[in-house]
Structure 1
Amino acid sequence: MVTPGLLYFGLFKYWPMWGVLIAFKDYLPFRGFWNSPWVGFKHFDRFFHDPVFWLLFKNTFVLAIYNIVFFFPIPILIALMLNELRLEWFKRTVQTAIYIPHFVSWVVVVGMAYTFFSLENGIFTNMLVQAGMEKTNFLMSNTWFRPMIILEVIWKESGWGTIIFLAALSGVDPTLYEAAKIDGAGRFKQMWHITLPAIRSTIVILFILRLGNFLDTGFEQIFLMLNSTNREVGEVFDTYVYSNGVQQGQFSFSTAVGLFKSLVGLCLVLAANKIAKKFGEQGVY
C-alpha cells in the first residue's frame, strides 16, 4: 500500500531535484543535462550584481511581509468566529460561501478587479465619483498595487485556510468550556483561555511552513496585475525570472534564482523552528 506513494514522491519530487545542478552549469539543450559546461557560481554572481536585484528583493520582501501580517491571521479569526456559531446550517452555509473563491482562477480574480477598479467603467470607481470623491486609477497606482494584491489574496484564500484551524478546533474537549461556564467565564474569555491555546501548536506549525514559501508571492497574480506604471513596486523575483530567464531561454539563470529563493525559505524555516522549540512548542521536526 505504501509503494505507490513512495514511487510518486521518488519520481516526481526527489528525482527532479537533480535539475538544480543546471544552476551551476551553462545549460545547453542540444548538449543535454550532463554534457553542458560547468560554470560554478556564474549565474548567482550575475543575479546578485544585477542593478535591479535590490529592487526585486525589496518588492518581494514587502509583499511577503504583507502576506504574513495581514493575510495569515485572517483564517484564524474566521475559524474562531465560525466556531462560535451555534446554528449548524448557517455555519455550513458560511463555510461553503467562503471556500468557493479558492477554486476561482487568478485570471478570473484579476478580471474581476479590472471590472471593479478600471478608470473608465469600473464599478467601484464610478461609485466613488458619484459619492463626490476624486477618480483614482487604482490599477496603475504604485500606492494601491500592494493593498490590492493582499486584498485579492484575502478574498480568494482566507476561507480555504480555515479548514485546518476548524479541524483543530473540533478536537477541543467540550468539558473545558462547561467548566469555564461554571466558573463564570464569558464567550470571549473561553475563546482566549481555551480555544486559542488549544490551536496554538497548529498556528505555530503552519506559520513555520508558511515561512518556507516566504519569497513566493504568487507569479500568476502578480504577472496579471503588472503594467508599465506599477512595475517599480510590482516586479518581483518570479516575474523577473519569467521575463529575463524563461522567455529568453536562460534556464540556468532561472534555476539559480529559484534555488536562491528556496535556500532563503529553508533558512527561515530552520530559524523559526528553533525559536518555536525554545518557547516550548513542538515545531515541525
Structure 2
Amino acid sequence: MNDVDPAEEIGEDDEETPPNMARVFDMYLGGSEHLEVDREFAVEVDAVLPGMGALCRGHRRFSAAVVDHWCAEGIDQFLELGSGLPTVDHVHTRARRVHPRARVAYVDRDRRTVAHARRLLAGEDGVAVLHADAGDAAAVLAAPEVRDVLDLARPVGVLAVGVLHYVHDDAAAVEAVRTYAAALAPGSGLAVSHLTSAARPDLHAWATMNHGGWSYAPRLRDPEDMAPWLDGFALVGPGWGSAPDWRADGTVPGADVTGSGLWGVVARRTSARG
C-alpha cells in the first residue's frame, strides 16, 4: 500500500513538529532517529512514569531473545506488529546474522512512523513496511507488503511485542490473534509481550490516568486474561514469564516476581489452518 506520503515524515526540528512515540522509543533504546522535541517529550513522560525507558528496553530484550530462538529453530521470515522504527538491532538486522536472506514485514499504524521507517529501509530487499492497524488482522494479511514478502505456506514468526495492550476490547484482541493464527502454517511462532500492573502500581496509575491525547492508555492484562489467545498453539519453554527475562530453556520468573511490568510468552502453531 503506497498510502503514506514521504513528506509526512519530518526530518528536522521546527515548532510544528509533534513528538512521535516511535522516535521516543528509539531514544530510550539508545538510537539516533529522534529529535529534540522527542527528547523534551521523554522528560515529560519520565515525570509521570519514570520506568518508561526500562519498559521499552524490556520489550526489545524479549524481541531479541525470541528472534534468536526462532532463527535457531530454522524460522527465517517474520511479521512484526506495531513495529515502530527499524533501529537498534531490529528484527531484520538480528535475523540476518543467522539467515542472511531472512524476510520481514513490519506493520505500524502511525503514518509518520511508516514514512520514516520506509526511508530507513530503502534498498533493503526482502523487507517491507505496511501502514495498517495490527488489530485489523484480515487487512494486514491481505496487504501486498505482507503477501509479496512472506510465504505463508512456510513457518512465520509473528511478533506482537508491546502492541496488543492497545487493543482494549478483549473480544477484538482474541479475534485478531486467531485470524493471524488461522493464516499461519504449522511450526509458525507467536510471541507476545504485554503490560501488567502486577507488582507495578505505577503502571496501574499510568493506565488509568487521563492521557489527554498525548498517548494511548494501555489495557493491562495478566496471563489468565490472555490465555484464549493461544488456542491452537503450544507454549514454548517456560510459558508465561517476565518478558525481559524470557529464555527458551529453563524457568523464568513471573512479572509479578520481577516487577518488570511485562508479561511475555512464546508459542508454536501446532494445528492446521482453521
> Do both proteins adopt the same fold according to a TM-score greater than 0.5, normalized to the shorter chain?
no
Identify which of structures 1 and 2 has the higher relative contact order when contacts are C-alpha pairs closer than 8 Å and 6+ apart: 1
TM-score (norm. length: structure 1): 0.25
TM-score (norm. length: structure 2): 0.26
User: Which structure dedicates a bigger proportion of its chain to strand?
Assistant: 2
User: Which structure dedicates a bigger proportion of its chain to helix?
Assistant: 1
